[in-house]
Amino acid sequence: MKTNVAHDTGPVPAHRLPEPPVRVRVLYIGGCGRSGSTLLDRMLGQVPGVCSLGELTHLWKALLHDAECGCGVPIRRCLFWRAVGECAFGGWDAIDVGEMFQLQRAVLRQRYVPFMVAPESWPPYRRKLERYTRLLGEVYRGVQEVSGAALVVDSTKHYAGAFLLRRMAGVDLRVVHLVRDSRGVAFSWSKRVPRPEAMHRGSHMNRYGAGRSAGRWLGYNSGFEVLERLGIPSTFVRYEDLVRAPRPELARILERAGVLPTASALSFVRGHEVALRPNHTVAGNPMRFRVGTIRLTVDDAWRSNLPSAHRRIVSLLTRPLLVRYGYAGERGGAAGLGVRRYA
């Protein structure tokens, strides 16, 4: 007599149990812009078994404008991203990319973080959040299947993006909290930086004054402090330490993300030089297109070029975290008692 599966409420034999879905391990690089996230992303992307995506938050916009992938090919013609679209949705044309872009704008905002933590408090938002995270989860799944990577790196930086990933059941989230001296960040934001992508040709990246740069630096870094207190595995990294000692810092980051790097896996790092091959990055600063061997040096031009008035403003506004992160002295290098280094 055949068993009626619809009414079979008995225990399921072990050999019939479905395998649990594989969670995508995502290493999210977070912090304020101009802190070296693209450099760290690129270096991690050279490690076998690690897939570097750049700032994945810009995927939908990149697809809308057919922006250049980090490999130099328009994203809709990039074989990697075409394969991801096929794996995730049966092709990018199978979904409304414009709708996804608008849905992202309705969900992924820093001011909506409280609702990401407690979405039941705003049902209309919860419905949008659930739909967006479900579809975004398919993208991450597609990336993992196409790349075969054990670790996927997303350098979006915004803490809202990390809070969003925290809610996704199919994602095993790890965070790198990357910081840089706030005065160096402020000086970097004051410079004119041309956009290299074809869709932005002739335009420049955003610029911010000293006060706004200081506010962004405080806000972004505080957001990742909160995220760690909520139990998300986090690794604290200073840009200056990464550039001065790239190999041990990369090894530490990878180990804390669950990847045990071999000596050969980090062979692209030789002293203070790194050999970069192309990565399929969606967005980031212009160095995402650089290939070949580059020499790492700490960019501390702010010490001589940041106006003294701006330096005082930034130092005063960001002092609590400057002390916590070991930048309290004007030279900004030595960590003192109670300084957070490797928490």
Whole-model pTM: value is 0.89
Q: Per-residue pLDDT tens for 80-108? A: 999 999 999 999 999 999 999 999 999 99
58 vs 139: CA distance, rounded Å: 13
User: What does pLDDT average to over the chain?
Assistant: 90
Which of 133, 311, 280 is closest to 211 using CA atoms? 311
Signed CA dihedral, 304, 308, 310, 316: sign only: positive
**pLDDT score recorded for residue 197:** 58
**pLDDT score recorded for residue 196:** 63
**pLDDT score recorded for residue 15:** 42
Low-confidence ranges of the chain (pLDDT < 70): 1-21, 195-202, 330-343
192 vs 206: CA distance, rounded Å: 8
Q: Per-residue pLDDT tens for 41-53? A: 999 999 999 999 9
Domain boundaries, the chain: 22-324
Residue type at 107? V
**pLDDT score recorded for residue 28:** 99
- What single-letter DSSP state applies at residue 30? E
Sheet containing strand 273-276, edge to edge, reads 269-270, 273-276, 292-295
Give strand pairing partners of 171: 24
Which of 313, 65, 101 is closest to 189 using CA atoms? 313
**pLDDT score recorded for residue 202:** 62
Q: What does 258-307 look like in DSSP terms, one character per residue?
A: T----TGGGTTEETTEEEE-----SS-SGGGG--EEEE-----THHHHS-
Which of 104, 44, 42 is closest to 253 using CA atoms? 44
> What percentage of the chain has pLDDT greater than the value 90?
83
Q: Is 167 exposed, middle or buried (0-12, 13-18, 19+ CB in 10 A)?
A: middle
**pLDDT score recorded for residue 201:** 60
Is CATH 3.40.50 correct for 22-324?
yes
